[in-house]
Amino acid sequence: MASKLYATHVPTSLFEKAALSVDASVRALANPRRADLVGVLGETTGALALRRMRERMARDTVGRSILAERPRIRAHTVSAAALSALPAGSFGNAYGTFLDRHAFDPDDRADVRFVDDEELAYVMTRYRETHDLWHVLFGLPPTVLGEVALKCIEAVQTGLPMCAAGALFGGARVRFAQTARLARVLPWAARAGSRAADLMCVRYEDHLGEPLVELRAILRVDACPPDLGGVG
């Protein structure tokens, strides 16, 4: 068995990863709200996608700085008080409102455990910690429909198999009355994910004070229209 590569690392063989993937898949389908299971699935199936994400980041000036400095989005780095003090209409103020409205805590994200490369583990961590920021950027609420749409965007942006699975199978959780909207929001999400800049190469911490509308324009982000469930 390989030695630990970082503090939270759990070394596993290919066979063990396969077993973890199957177990997480089955249990996550039964209970999609288990974010820990979804996280395990992402870690055990995402090695190729993570390497490609790292390569893209390494070719980008901002991406390289993120890999080198490894900023974290935690409660002590983006405090609720600091976010609420930012101007109304700013990206950071909208993010703070999102966290407060839904009682989310940046520190609730699970630690990466099953990625067998210390730098790739950070890439996965960065992806997880920007998830709620992407909700704000794309104007997607944390509803079933909103999460499925964001998973589609994430699949296009990251290539992670777990995101593609979430977009494909997450629709099973959508109420029958919303199936028509789902059929419209997924094509929108695929286009939005393709049109946007590489969102893994954005140092969000440096843009919190900027107007959300202006940041969306810079990053080529299309907010989800209200008729598809967007919240602006």
Report how far residue 145's alpha carbon sits from residue 8's, in angstroms, rounded to the nearest whole number: 32
The answer to whether residue 1 is domain-embedded is no
pTM: 0.92
pLDDT at 170 over 80: no
Work out the pLDDT band at 3, boundaries 50, 70, 90.
confident
The answer to whether residue 191 is domain-embedded is yes
pLDDT at 32 over 70: no
> Beta-carbon neighbour count of residue 18 at 10 Å?
13
The answer to whether residue 3 is domain-embedded is no
Question: Across residues 102-118, what is the average pLDDT?
Answer: 94
Percent with pLDDT over 90 in the chain: 73
DSSP 87-141: PTTBHHHHHHHHHHHTT--GGGSPPP-S-SSHHHHHHHHHHHHTHHHHHHHHT--
Structural domains counted in the chain = 1
The answer to whether residue 95 is domain-embedded is yes
Token pair listed for 40: 């395990």
The answer to whether residue 76 is domain-embedded is yes
The answer to whether residue 6 is domain-embedded is no
The answer to whether residue 147 is domain-embedded is yes
**Boundaries of domain holding 108:** 14-228
Binding positions are: 131-132, 135, 147
The more confidently predicted of residues 152 and 165 is 152
pLDDT at 31 over 70: no
Binding positions for Zn(2+) are: 131-132, 135, 147
The answer to whether residue 211 is domain-embedded is yes
Q: Look-up: residue for tokens 């990251």? A: 158
Predicted local distance difference test score (pLDDT) of residue 118: 97
Mean pLDDT taken over the chain: 92
Predicted local distance difference test score (pLDDT) of residue 33: 64
